[in-house]
Amino acid sequence: MAIYVILNLLAALAVLAFLYRQQRRHASFSVRVFSGLGLGIVLGAGLQALYGAGAPVLASTGEYLDIVGSGYVKLLQMVIMPLIMVSIISAVLKLKNARSLGKISALTIGTLMLTTLVAAGIGILMAKLFGLTAVGLTASAAEVARGAYLQGSVATAKAISLPGMLLSFIPANPFLDMTGGRKTSTIAVVVFSLFIGIAATGIHAKQPAVFASFEQFVKVAHAIVMRIVTLVLRLTPYGVFALMAQVVSSSSYADILKLISFVLASYSALALMFGVHLALVAGAGLNPLRYVKKILPVLTFAFTSRTSAGSIPLSVQTQVQRLGTPEGIANFAASFGSTIGQNGCAGIYPAMLAVMIAPTVGVDPFTLAFIGPLLAIVTIGSVGVAGVGGGATFAALIVLSALDLPVALAGLLISIEPLIDMGRTALNVSGSITAGTLTSRLLGETDMAVFNADAELSVDSEGDASRAA
């Protein structure tokens, strides 16, 4: 078996070498990302065709590919907290008054919550159109085990309340939150950074010398952190390739076909909600086609990595460098969007699941008495869903337990969960970018010269590889 693993890895190394050659030839960032995506699909499909899903050879090969794929995600996660801190503090220091901060927060969170409500409605509509129901589905051993696990997690989900979730945003120990030790650590770091920035502006008049020193320190820290972000983002094509190769090689096509209706309904809902995002952008006076072109690399990474939180650095860079959104607003939107109002994981998915499961206990899911509470619970429950793999499951537990529906039936979808989660994560990130874009536009802060330009992300050596798209 070892010889086959070596051959597989040699093929992967050849692809990585090709991607590196593209970088050396100054191919655009978008071209390299989509090259990585396409080659990952080809390699993954080829490996599964040769060995079959679940083969030990694929598992061993996947462990080595994981060094590149998960290693890249970990590097992104490494820079999330420093990026949030220096960017938020820097943004607050530039604000004229606290009202600007309040407007940014209100518009960003309001957009995220509103779009989640719309997403839940779309999920219900697609469940109706595709006739989705959990009645009559049979469960395999893996699905039964997953169902039992979900059933055991109900107590945790039921213990969550909106006041308790809001309280968890307050950083009792900011140093713990800087390690990402809690599901709401990202928002807690935002809150702590806001306090630092506001405190600093408070001494501007009384101690100008101290303020000037702190402001200079923040500028230096910001420059260094952004340089780290740039270095990490250069690895995006390689990470996308490895992640996609793993997903395709390990997916069970038979399981996908068995639940094809749910897959089609899910992606129809995701596509429709993405259309809502574009409609909002167009309504704000921005060209939706140009907007899509600029955010595609971010969505591609979110799709392959399945992590909303890990997409924060790339999302911020894209909003600032390609969409013309101020850095402070971009960080607010990306940070809050990874935890609050995830359109895919906390909107569409739990709504569709609730509609599917309700008939198994004799409840008609298409009555106002059911849909009204469902929409309210989905919207409120979307606050605090962690932006990592498994966030959708947690959101579903909150919704199903609140409606007294059997949560164990959610385990029936375990076999296709990764496939659907890819699209959900991409929509989550699209929602956060939309929130940042709308907030910036409504406040008149968008740099239209940047939005209308065709510049690529500045992630290449010495900055000389940035080219027109």
Res. 110 pLDDT band, cuts 50 70 90 = very high
Taking residues 177-187, report their average pLDDT: 81
In this prediction, residue 114 has a pLDDT band, given cuts at 50, 70 and 90, of very high
Task: Name the residue with higher pLDDT: 131 or 380.
Answer: 131
Cα angle 405, 407, 409; round to 5: 105
Span 253-276, average pLDDT: 86
Residue 221: Cβ-neighbour burial (10 angstroms; 0-12, 13-18, 19+): middle
Q: Is the pLDDT of residue 67 over 80?
A: yes
What confidence category does residue 414 fall into, taking pLDDT thresholds of 50, 70 and 90? low
Asked if residue 336 has pLDDT above 60, the reply is: yes
User: How many CB atoms neighbour CB 104 within 10 A?
Assistant: 24
Mean pLDDT of 37-63: 89
- Of the pLDDT bands very low, low, confident and very high (cuts 50, 70, 90), residue 137 is low
**Residue 145, pLDDT score:** 53
Average of per-residue pLDDT across 453-468: 55
Lowest mean pLDDT among 107-111, 201-205, 455-459: 455-459
> In 10 A of CB 77, how many CB atoms?
17
Could you tell me the two tokens for 306?
Answer: 């399945």
Dist CA 19 CA 36 (whole Å): 7
Other CB atoms within a 10 A radius of the CB of residue 426 amount to: 26
Span 1-16, mean pLDDT? 91
How many Cβ atoms sit within 10 Å of the Cβ of residue 128?
14
Q: At residue 387, does pLDDT exceed 50?
A: no
DSSP letter at 180? T
Q: Which one has a higher pLDDT value, 90 or 146?
A: 90
Handedness of CA 113, 116, 120, 126 (dihedral sign): positive
d(CA 295, CA 318): 7
Report, as an integer, the average pLDDT of 453-458: 73
Residue 383, φ and ψ in degrees, nearest 5: -75, 115
CB atoms within 10 A of CB 291: 21
Band the pLDDT of 196: cuts 50, 70, 90.
Answer: very high
Q: At what angle do helices 327-337 and 98-129 cross, to 10 degrees?
A: 40
State the residue for tokens 């909106």: 162
Q: What average pLDDT does this structure show over 141-150?
A: 53
Q: Distance between CA atoms of 168 and 187, rounded to whole angstroms? A: 9
Helices 56-94, 288-305: inter-axial angle, 10-degree rounding: 130
Query: How far, in Å, CA of 127 to CA of 265, rounded?
Result: 7
pLDDT value at position 288? 96
Contacts of 144 (CB under 8 A, 6+ apart): 411
Average pLDDT across the chain, whole number? 84
Cα–Cα distance for residue pair 36/26, rounded to 1 Å: 15
pLDDT at 267: 95
Among residues 330, 397, 408, the alpha carbon closest in space to that of 155 is found at 397
Least reliable range by pLDDT among 23-37, 65-79, 175-189: 175-189
What pLDDT was estimated at residue 383? 73
Set out the domains of the chain in order of their start, with CATH numbers: 2-463 (1.10.3860.10)
Return the pLDDT at 466.
Answer: 37
Q: Can you say how many angstroms the Cα of residue 223 is from the centroid of all Cα atoms in its chain?
A: 25
pLDDT at 464 over 50: no
Residue 51 is predicted with a pLDDT of 87
The answer to whether the beta carbons of residues 150 and 393 sit under 8 Å apart is yes
Least confident residue range of 93-102, 232-241, 311-320: 93-102
